[in-house]
Amino acid sequence: MGVNGLMKIGFIGLGNMGTPLAERLLKKNQLFVYDVNQENLKYFIKKGATPCSTPSELALQTSRIFLCLPTSTIVKKVINGENGLLNSVEKGSYIIDMTTGEPEITREISKELQSKEINFIDAPVSGGPKGANQGNIAIMVGGTKTQFSTIKPIMDQISCNIFYAGKIGSGHSIKAGNNLLNLICRMATFEVVSMLVKDGVNPETAVNIIQKSSGRNYATEITLPDNIISGKMVQGFSTGLMKKDAGVATKIAEANKVEIPLGKLSQELLKNTIDEFGEDADMSTVALTYEKLTGAKIRP
Q: Which is nearer to ligand NAD, 197 or 270 (CB)?
A: 270
Residue 175 is among the residues annotated as catalytic for this protein: yes
Give the HSE-up count for residue 261: Cα atoms under 13 Å, Cβ half-sphere.
0
- Which residue of 9, 25, 31, 69 would you call a contact of ligand NAD, by CB under 6 A? 69
Cα separation, 103 vs 117, in Å, equals: 20
Asked if 270 and 239 touch (Cβ cutoff 8 Å), the reply is: yes
The amino acid that residue 44 corresponds to is F
For the stretch 176-186, what's the b/e string if a residue is b when 16 or more beta carbons lie within 10 angstroms of its beta carbon? Answer: bbbbbbbbbbb
Query: Which of 65-73, 141-149, 191-199, 217-225 is the region at the interface with ligand NAD (rule: CB under 6 A)?
Result: 65-73
Write out the binding residues for ligand NAD, residues 160-179 only, by CB under 6 A. Answer: none
Quote the least distance from Cβ 16 to ligand NAD, whole Å.
Answer: 4
Cα separation, 226 vs 7, in Å, equals: 36
Cα separation, 221 vs 141, in Å, equals: 25
Considering 47, 91, 130, 175, which one is annotated as catalytic? 175
CA 106 to chain centroid, in Å, comes to 15
Quote the least distance from Cβ 176 to ligand NAD, whole Å.
Answer: 10
Write out the binding residues for ligand NAD, residues 122-161 only, by CB under 6 A. Answer: 125-126, 128-129
* Residue 29 makes contact with ligand NAD by CB under 6 A: no
Name 252's Cβ contacts closer than 8 Å, sequence gap at least 6: 103, 173, 176, 177
* Residue 15 makes contact with ligand NAD by CB under 6 A: yes
Show the CA angle centred on residue 287, arms to residues 281 and 289, nearest 5°: 80
Asked if 185 and 198 touch (Cβ cutoff 8 Å), the reply is: no
Quote the least distance from Cβ 240 to ligand NAD, whole Å.
Answer: 8
Name 243's Cβ contacts closer than 8 Å, sequence gap at least 6: 267, 270, 271, 274, 279
Residue nearest to ligand NAD (CB): 15
- Which residue of 6, 28, 36, 255 would you call a contact of ligand NAD, by CB under 6 A? 36
- Which residue of 9, 10, 18, 249 would you call a contact of ligand NAD, by CB under 6 A? 18
**What string marks each residue from 219 to 258 as x (binds ligand NAD by CB under 6 A) or -?**
-----------------xx---x---x-------------
Q: How far apart are the first and last CA of the chain?
A: 51
Quote the least distance from Cβ 134 to ligand NAD, whole Å.
Answer: 13
Could you list the active site residues?
A: 175
Q: Which residues bind ligand NAD (CB under 6 A)?
A: 12-18, 34-37, 40, 68-70, 74, 77-78, 99-100, 125-126, 128-129, 236-237, 241, 245
